[in-house]
């Protein structure tokens, strides 16, 4: 791998690292998600300096070209992250549902108290 | 005995007063107190204003949760206020309040949940299309295979539950088009279910949630079938129902 490419990739990785740091600082990202991205970033940096690891894994797995293997892993990682995010969405939806229901019930109760003589529909 | 009628309403401004008025047809005995609660599921029309101007007992949900979330709100309300029986009753005027006492009687006879069914005995004059009827028969068949119990009208939204089921539903209720899904779960968990024949009326005003788009019924069938299969295969019987 040419040193120019190594340097530019390193710069991208560092910028990525700093961007995550900024996002955490500005509360645009949860710390636990930042850790996930940082570990990915660090793995990339390690591979950048020891490319032999990639060759080794490719040989073990019987993949001829390293680039194919990188695409494969990249794809798996991305699908994994999307799966995680859909789970987060489901959790948030159920939280929003519960919140809306409780707000509705509370508002009904408050209106009943304000009206005082509320219908017998409330205890 | 405290009975709560849960009326889910989404854009039912034209029907809601008529629906609440129709509850007087229930004609229950002295030992019952019949209350109702309307769940206004973030309606875009003036359902909210109409309910409040007429001093109807309404819970206004701040956002649209869909039928499952709306009905569950009613069960939570029933649970918090210690109701003995909760009855789902559609806000569009399709259900007939004179059957409420029959539903209550079935609960008092020891059933946990009672379905007001359009298809038990050929009593119904409910105008249903052939396709819709095929769909309901298919869901019925699917539930029979998975649970061994024949439910003639699993999609009926006219149902009564006792305090045990109210508690179950307050904790956990399926999100969209929830009736067949929840029925399967309850049978699997070992609760007693019965069905009584009821007549239903055609809608008076407004549009059904299932006929606005031709793809919706197909999507509904696929979604509900899968949900029933998952519920049927994964739900375990409760060890001690009296916990």
What pLDDT sits at residue B30?
A: 85
Question: Do the domain assignments include residue B37?
Answer: yes
CB of B71 closer than 8 Å to CB of B158: no
Pick from B191, B163, B173: nearest CA to B86: B163
Residue B243 lies in a domain: no
Backbone angles phi, psi at B38, to 5 degrees: -90, 130
Is B241 within a domain? Answer: no
What mean pLDDT value characterizes chain B?
86
Full residue range of the structural domain in which residue B16 is found: 2-234
Greatest Cα pair distance, chain A, in angstroms, is: 82
CATH of the domain at B103: 3.90.550.10
Please tell me which of the candidates B52, B69, B80 has its beta carbon nearest to residue A105: B80
Average pLDDT over residues B18-27: 88
ipTM of the complex: 0.82
Query: Both ends of chain B: CA-CA distance in Å?
Result: 22
Confidence at residue A34, expressed as pLDDT on a 0 to 100 scale: 92
Mutate to test the interface with B, among A93, A95, A100, A122 (most CBs of B within 10 A): A100
With respect to residue B130, please indicate whether it lies within any of the assigned structural domains.
Answer: yes
- Cα distances (angstroms) measured from residue A54 to each of A40, A68, B139, B154: 15, 11, 52, 56
Note whether residue B208 is domain-resident.
Answer: yes
> pLDDT tens for residues B95-121?
888 899 999 999 999 999 999 988 775
Does residue B148 sit within a domain?
yes
pLDDT at B210 over 70: no
pLDDT digits (tens, 9 = 90+) for B49-93: 999 999 999 999 999 999 899 999 999 999 999 999 999 998 887
Q: Where are the alpha helices (DSSP H) in B122-243?
A: 130-147, 163-171, 179-188, 215-234
Counted domains in chain B: 1
| B162 within domain boundaries | yes
Q: Say yes or no for a CB contact (<8 Å) between B39 and A104.
A: yes
Q: What is the pLDDT of residues A66-110, one digit of tens each?
A: 889 989 999 999 999 899 999 999 999 999 999 999 999 999 999
Residue B239 lies in a domain: no
Distance in angstroms (rounded) separating the CA atoms of residues B223 and B243: 33
Taking an 8 Å cut-off on Cβ atoms, the answer to whether A105 and B76 are in contact is yes
| Nearest chain A residue to B36, by CA | A121
Strands in chain B per DSSP E:
2-9, 33-40, 58-60, 85-88, 113-117, 159-162, 193-197
């Amino acid at each position: 791998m040419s040193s120019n490419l190594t340097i530019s990739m390193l710069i991208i990785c560092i910028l990525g690292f700093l961007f995550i740091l900024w996002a955490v600082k500005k509360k645009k990202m949860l710390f636990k998600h930042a850790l996930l991205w940082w570990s990915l970033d660090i793995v990339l940096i390690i591979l950048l300096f020891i490319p032999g690891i990639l060759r080794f894994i490719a040989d073990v797995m019987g993949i001829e070209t390293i680039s194919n293997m990188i695409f494969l892993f990249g794809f798996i990682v991305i699908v994994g992250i999307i799966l995680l995010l859909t789970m987060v969405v489901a959790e948030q939806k159920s939280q929003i549902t519960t919140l809306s229901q409780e707000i509705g019930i509370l508002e009904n109760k408050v209106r009943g108290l304000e009206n005082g003589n509320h219908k017998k529909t409330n205890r | 005995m405290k009975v709560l009628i849960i009326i889910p309403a989404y854009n039912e401004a034209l029907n809601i007063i008529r629906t609440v008025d129709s509850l007087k047809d229930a004609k229950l005995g002295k030992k019952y107190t019949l209350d109702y609660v309307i769940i206004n599921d973030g309606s875009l029309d003036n359902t909210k204003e109409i309910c409040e101007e007429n001093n109807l007992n309404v819970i206004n949900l701040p956002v649209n949760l869909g039928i499952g979330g709306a009905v569950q709100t009613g069960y939570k309300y029933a649970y918090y206020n210690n109701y003995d029986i909760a009855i789902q009753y559609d806000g569009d005027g399709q259900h007939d309040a004179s059957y409420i006492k029959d539903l209550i009687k079935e609960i008092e006879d020891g059933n946990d949940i009672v379905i007001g069914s359009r298809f038990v005995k050929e009593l119904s004059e409910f105008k249903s299309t052939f396709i819709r009827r095929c769909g309901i028969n298919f869901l019925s068949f699917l539930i029979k295979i998975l649970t061994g119990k024949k439910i003639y009208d699993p999609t009926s939204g006219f149902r009564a539950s006792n305090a045990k089921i109210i508690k179950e539903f307050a904790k956990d209720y399926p999100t969209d088009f929830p009736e067949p899904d929840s029925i399967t779960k309850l049978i699997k968990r070992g609760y007693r279910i019965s069905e009584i024949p009821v007549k239903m009326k055609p809608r008076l005003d407004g549009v059904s949630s299932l006929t606005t788009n031709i793809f919706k019924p197909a999507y509904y069938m696929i979604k509900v079938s899968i949900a029933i299969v998952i519920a049927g295969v994964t739900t375990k019987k409760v060890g001690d129902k009296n916990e």
